[in-house]
Amino acid sequence: MTTQNINGNKPMIYIFITSDYKDSELVAHIGYGIEEEGIPFKTFVQEKNNSQELAYNAAQNSSLGIGLGVTSEDQVVLQMAKLSKENPVFNKTLNSNEQAKKMGSNAARMVKGLPFKSFKSEE
């Protein structure tokens, strides 16, 4: 399924980001969401600046078939390998760390086959 293996064949969710997101809190919170669900993940900085493209590539490369792409203005796309580039699972502008964590959870829950968490705040 994978075209190129960046990190061997370990089952992981891949997050592809642009360089300006290297130290982003938002991306960190996506990671926390994935970690809380107990799924390994790895973040890679990429050249391209198109979140759909990044997510698509991330999903294609992840041996779990799940990838996220983050680009400017907190645009986050969650993608799975079997879906087309134009029709990702989620394509969303995140407006809080809480939402970022949920996006991460949902990526992981996709792997676990659990229903997604709603992005709406619980309060």
Partner 1 sequence: MGVDIGNATTEVAIGKIEAEQEFNFIAEGEHQTTGLKGTEENIKGIMNALQQAVQEADLKLEDLDLIRLNEATPVIGDVAMETITETIITESTMIGHNPSTPGGVGLGVGKTVMITELDSCSAGEEVIVVIPAEIDFAIAAENINEGLARGIEVNGAIVQKDDAVLIANRIDKQMPIVDEVKFIDKVPLDRKAAVEVASSGGTIQELTNPYGIATVFDLDADETKHIVPVARSLIGNHSAVVIRTPQGDIEEKRIPAGKIIAFGESGKEKIAVDQGAEEIMKSIEKVQPLKDVKGESGTNVSGMLERVRSKMKQVTGQNLSDIKIKDILAVDTFVPQEVKGGLAGEHSLENAVGLAAMVETSQLPMQQIADALVQELPEVEIEIAGVEANMAISGALTTPGTDKPIVILDMGGGSTDAAVLTQEGNIHTAHLSGAGNMVSMIIETELGLEDFDLAERIKKTPLAKVESMFNIRHEDGTVHFYDEPLAPQLFSKVVSLDEGELVPIPTDHSMKRIRQVRRDAKKDVFVRNAVRALKRTIPTGNIRDIGFVVMVGGSALDFEIPELISNELSNYGVVAGRGNIRGMMGPRNAVATGLVLSYLNNPRWN
**Contacting positions for partner 1 (CB under 8 A):** 32, 35-38, 80, 82-83, 87, 89-90, 105, 109-110, 113-116
Alpha carbon distance 12, 16 (integer Å): 13
Residue whose CB is less far from partner 1, 45 or 114? 114
Residue closer to partner 1, measured from CB, 17 or 29: 29
Cα 69 to Cα 113: distance, rounded to the nearest angstrom:
21
Give whichever of 24 and 49 is closer to partner 1, judged by the CB atom. Answer: 24
User: Based on CB atoms, which residue is closest to partner 1, 5 or 11?
Assistant: 11
Tell me the C-alpha distance between 1 and 23, whole Å. Answer: 30
Minimum distance from CB of 24 to partner 1 (Å)? 16
C-alpha 61/C-alpha 52 separation (Å) is 14
In the complex, least distance from residue 79 CB atom to partner 1, rounded to whole angstroms: 11
Rounded to a whole number of angstroms, the minimum distance from the CB of residue 35 to partner 1 is 6
Min CB(32)–partner 1 separation in Å? 6
